[in-house]
Amino acid sequence: MRPDLKKISTGISGLDEMLNGGVPKKRICLVTGGPGVGKTILGLQFLVNGAHQNEKGLFVSLEEKPSHIIENALGFNWDFKKNYEEKVKFVDASPLQTLHDEIKIGEITIGSEQFSFATLVSVIKKEAYRIKPKRIVLDSLTALLFQFDNNFDRRRATLELFQCLNELDATCIVTSELRSYSPDRELQVEEYLAQGVILLATLPNGIRTVHIEKMRGTSHDLNTRPYQIGEKGIEVFPKETVTVPSRYL
Ligand SMILES: Nc1ncnc2c1ncn2[C@@H]1O[C@H](COP(=O)(O)OP(=O)(O)O)[C@@H](O)[C@H]1O
Ligand SMILES: [Mg+2]
């Protein structure tokens, strides 16, 4: 491991163990997997853990309404309206998905034809300068990348967004939907561009698995481990092994 590389805890002790301490500080870690694997929950847990350490967090929601996310989080006893109100802020960027005539993100209203990644980037920058978060979650990138029909544009937009995040004084978790789990699948652009990639899956037998695909600058567990989603959120079992069909590796 690079001696100067600092880590920050994800809030999931088993995952921190797999990561030899946590995710690299001030870097972008991609959390990817199919629908329902717990990507949004992982992002929330990361912010809750930060709040407990007095670190501010920003949740940029590109998919679901923050009100729904906040409501669902009550299922884990995370009360963002009460306990974390001062520490964790939500930005509703979900209108970007359904391009209306006018889009309102935070305090900015724009015509949909004027929308570009640059708009999102400026909203994130503005909110980040205002709130000064140490942790940022962007959930999910896929909602945004849908509007591009080729990999060149997807790559350019992702690069722009990641550059913006890299300039901020925060550790970032970006989620994305994985289109395929096949071992010979084509890697998605965000997997190339993020400094770390955590892959979540639910096997056909219902077992949930976590695999660290890459984590630049540090050694980490190379095995696939099981996890559960319970009443305290995600729990990873870093000592247990799991047999994974090759199409999920
Ligand atoms: N309170 C809860 N207790 C246990 N599991 C839950 C609870 N709430 C949601 N889940 C599980 O988490 C899944 C949704 O997680 P989520 O983070 O929204 O997935 P993703 O963002 O990857 O689509 C649900 O499909 C369900 O299996
Ligand atoms: Mg989600």
Q: Whose CA is nearest to atom 10 of ligand 1?
A: 229
- Read off the pLDDT of residues 170-198 as tens digits, 9 standing for 90 and up: 999 999 999 888 878 889 999 999 999 99
Q: What is the pLDDT of residue 105?
A: 62
Give the domain ranges of the chain.
Answer: 7-94+132-242
How remote is the CA of residue 72 from the centroid of ligand 1, in Å? 9
| Ligand 1 pocket mutation, candidates 30, 40, 41, criterion most atoms within 8 A of CB | 41
Indicate yes or no: pTM above 0.85. yes
Q: What is the pLDDT of residue 113?
A: 43
Ranges of the chain whose pLDDT falls below 70: 1, 96-116, 247-249
On whether the CB atoms of residues 89 and 58 are closer than 8 A, the answer is yes
Q: What is the pLDDT of residue 147?
A: 76
Architecture of domain 7-94+132-242: 3-Layer(aba) Sandwich (3.40)
Q: Whose CA is nearest to atom 17 of ligand 1?
A: 38
